[in-house]
Structure 1
Amino acid sequence: MKKSMLGVIDATMLPGEMGDLALYRSPAAIPFAGRYRLIDFVLSNMVNSGVQSVAIFPRSPYRSLMDHLGSGKDWDLNRKRDGLFFFPSPTKEGQLDRMSEHLNYFHRSDQKYVIVSNCTTVANMDFAPVLDRFIKQNCDVLEVTHKGESTYIYLLSLELLLDLIDRRNETGYESVQAAVEDASSSLIKCQYEFEGFLQRIKTVDDYYQTSMELLEKDKWSELFNEFQPIYTKVKDEPPTNYLAGSHVTNAMIANGCIISGEVNHSIVFRGVAIGKNSTVKNSIVMQKSKIGENCVLEHVIIDKDVSVQDGAILRGTPEKPLVIKKGSVESAVTSS
């Protein structure tokens, strides 16, 4: 039964909602939790639930997203039949309009049901019981909820999805969400309450707060487990090197780093260097960024390839973390 599901990921969230983190990339491609991208979670959930065909509908800029996903090999989606499909649609605004440009994909599919999801929900979810609920309750469309609120993840039949696409001008529905939220609709609507760890990343604050939550052992364990792994693009990196004088407490450190300073309650991505007598606290430092000597970082999000010069002091607040743009050079005292 699992293999009867088709996956659709709507990766058209407006970049502006994620501020400087989405200046050069789709929100779906924003790095997260040390070695992942936001899209890795829903994509891995689909694969772990037996989905073998996934269509991604992105919004520009999507070069970084395409580079990350590649052929889908790291998610076992580089297949002769089915697999990973990428459908840019620069001229269409509505979700159903974008799907209408690729009807051949849906008509060629053998799957009977479709999971339609956003691209920035962080969770480890098995869709098999969702499908069981859908079938047992004879639903037309099922909405996944968390703590009583929508996750904007839906399950419906492929037949109904094609009907919604075909009749979109008549009904005025621009998306599956619009059909679900229409109180006058005759559709049989059901809900499935997901009880595990789940966060929808919509803003920079969401991103920062969720990242900090993952430093709590119980929440990290809910999201990452050996039975339903979260897959990502594989990169070969050496182990992290902790030099004399370094001190690390309650931190998530990826491979390939060189740590000479202090890291406390922070997330450090692959290939980061942190210099002597520098302190990184309550912060996120993304890939290949370099932190010089005698620096202080507190409540900061450092994007990729940033160079923080010796003696720089960067401070944000828990409510408003300071975001340093990708590729920047920081050499002064900066605060948010």
Structure 2
Amino acid sequence: MQNKLLGVIDATTHKNGIEDLITNRSMSAIPFAGRYRLIDFVLSSMVNSGIESVAVFHGFQNRSLMDHLGSGREWDLNRKRDGLFFFPSPLKEPDSDQLGSFKQFKQNIDYFYRSDSQYALISNCHTVCNMDFESILQRHISTHSDITEIKHDGQSLEMYIIETSLLIDLVQNEETTGYRSIVDVVRDSRNTYKVSEYEYIGYAALINTIEKYYKYSLEIISPQIWKQLFLKDRPIYTKVKDEPPTRYNKGAVVKNSMIANGCVIEGHVENCILFRGVKIGKGTVVRNSVIMQKSQIGENCELDAVILDKDVKIENGVTIKGTETIPHVLRKGTIQGALMNS
């Protein structure tokens, strides 16, 4: 890339509308699409756009995120120069409204000073997309913009391109200007900067509520959507795990579903996403649902419009039903028995 771009991912944001999935993890580490985490999509887009240095600012519930990203090897970011950097947020409480907090950038200002990238891309961690940031950067340069905000269908994707030197100046003077974040600058109609908008026409899903997580999870089962997101020349990278093939026992029925490795299916699965190691018992019917890693559903159960987080156990004979607008969510490690039938 002629004009180098620095990647900055804010993984500290906390959205109240998705709390059931972030009690033990950050939003960035929420499982998605059978084998990925939400952060994989923005991070892979950065790497595929030629970005060689990425800073991840994270909060305190970071074990799952750190375990997933590791050294950044799967994204070719385990480098002697540049690569993947982790910076813990100095904020005691997550600030749900302030993507790209200047206060947390200021605590690690040396990272920006040492970078030789002329421009910086500041992004949230929970947008599902496969985006070419290089072309957006060229548009930013050609329009002589100070800040470019990336939008989709008129809605902000919480992604911004800015000259690194301007970002440093804003961070260092945040107490004087009163701007707490990049969002504050963009939203201030009185600012003296040229703020441009870039309308992204590819597939993009901003996931910040349970309802959106459920909607967009099932949406990608559609081949039309899948082909827009998973491109051969721009792969979505993730942590590699070795699992045996899924076993479909006699009597198993699977329709219009996405099934990851290591599952054992004896029942009926329709319009669902099953993550690695899920077990579906005999006589069980699961429809319109998202079942995360290593969850076990017993025999003769009926599940419709549910989200099971990791390691959930459903005992025999249980019925659980949500709706398309309000899916029923069971948190990580929950055990649901017949006596607690919902």
Q: TM-score, normalised by structure 2?
A: 0.96
SS state at 1:145 partner: strand
Report the counterpart of residue 109 of structure 1 in structure 2: 115
Per-residue deviation, residues 69-104 of structure 1 (Å, max 9, x unmatched): 111111111100101111012336561000000011
Report the counterpart of residue 202 of structure 1 in structure 2: 208
2:326 maps to 1:317: no
Aligned amino acid, residue 38 of structure 1 = L
Q: 1:255–1:269: 8 Å Cα contact kept in structure 2?
A: yes
Equivalent residue for 1:289, pick from 289, 295, 305: 295
Report the counterpart of residue 60 of structure 1 in structure 2: 60
Q: 2:12–2:89: 8 Å Cα contact kept in structure 1?
A: no
Report the counterpart of residue 51 of structure 2 in structure 1: 51
Q: 2:257–2:270: 8 Å Cα contact kept in structure 1?
A: yes
Q: 2:33–2:217: 8 Å Cα contact kept in structure 1?
A: yes
Equivalent residue for 1:181, pick from 187, 197, 200: 187
Report the counterpart of residue 138 of structure 2 in structure 1: 132
Aligned amino acid, residue 6 of structure 2 = L
CA–CA distance in structure 2, aligned partners of residues 317 and 60 of structure 1: 33
CA–CA distance in structure 1, aligned partners of residues 316 and 15 of structure 2: 32
Report the counterpart of residue 73 of structure 1 in structure 2: 73
TM-superposed CA distance for 1:124, in Å, is 0.8
Per-residue deviation, residues 281-310 of structure 1 (Å, max 9, x unmatched): 000000011111111110000000111101
Aligned amino acid, residue 41 of structure 1 = F
Per-residue deviation, residues 241-289 of structure 1 (Å, max 9, x unmatched): 1111000000000011111111100000001111111111000000011
Aligned pair in 2 of structure 1 residues 2, 86: CA closer, same or farther (>3 Å)?
farther
**RMSD over aligned Cα atoms:** 1.2
1:250-269 matches, within 5 Å, as: 250-269=256-275
2:141 maps to 1:156: no
CA–CA distance in structure 2, aligned partners of residues 290 and 149 of structure 1: 38
Aligned amino acid, residue 222 of structure 1 = Q
Q: 2:3–2:118: 8 Å Cα contact kept in structure 1?
A: no
Greater Cα shift, 78-87 or 58-67: 58-67
Q: 1:29–1:64: 8 Å Cα contact kept in structure 2?
A: yes
Aligned amino acid, residue 133 of structure 1 = R
TM-superposed CA distance for 1:15, in Å, is 5.2
Aligned pair in 2 of structure 1 residues 17, 62: CA closer, same or farther (>3 Å)?
farther
Q: 1:15–1:22: 8 Å Cα contact kept in structure 2?
A: no
TM-superposed CA distance for 1:190, in Å, is 1.1
Among all aligned residue pairs of Structure 1 and Structure 2, give the percentage whose two residues are the same amino acid.
51
TM-superposed CA distance for 1:16, in Å, is 3.4
Gaps (5+ residues) in structure 2?
none
Report the counterpart of residue 328 of structure 1 in structure 2: 334
Aligned amino acid, residue 270 of structure 2 = N
Gaps (5+ residues) in structure 1?
none
Greater Cα shift, 211-220 or 297-306: 211-220
Equivalent residue for 2:152, pick from 142, 146, 151: 146
Aligned amino acid, residue 71 of structure 1 = S
Aligned amino acid, residue 71 of structure 2 = S
Aligned pair in 2 of structure 1 residues 248, 192: CA closer, same or farther (>3 Å)?
same
Q: 1:246–1:260: 8 Å Cα contact kept in structure 2?
A: yes
SS state at 1:211 partner: helix
SS state at 2:198 partner: strand
Q: 1:34–1:254: 8 Å Cα contact kept in structure 2?
A: yes
TM-superposed CA distance for 1:217, in Å, is 1.3
Per-residue deviation, residues 25-74 of structure 1 (Å, max 9, x unmatched): 00110000000000100000000000010001112211111111111111
Q: 2:15–2:208: 8 Å Cα contact kept in structure 1?
A: no
Report the counterpart of residue 39 of structure 2 in structure 1: 39
2:255 maps to 1:235: no
Report the counterpart of residue 12 of structure 2 in structure 1: 12
TM-superposed CA distance for 1:17, in Å, is 3.2
Greater Cα shift, 34-43 or 94-103: 94-103
Aligned amino acid, residue 301 of structure 1 = I
Q: TM-score, normalised by structure 1?
A: 0.97
Moved over 2 A (4+): 90-94, 332-335
TM-superposed CA distance for 1:334, in Å, is 4.4
Per-residue deviation, residues 204-223 of structure 1 (Å, max 9, x unmatched): 11100111111111011111
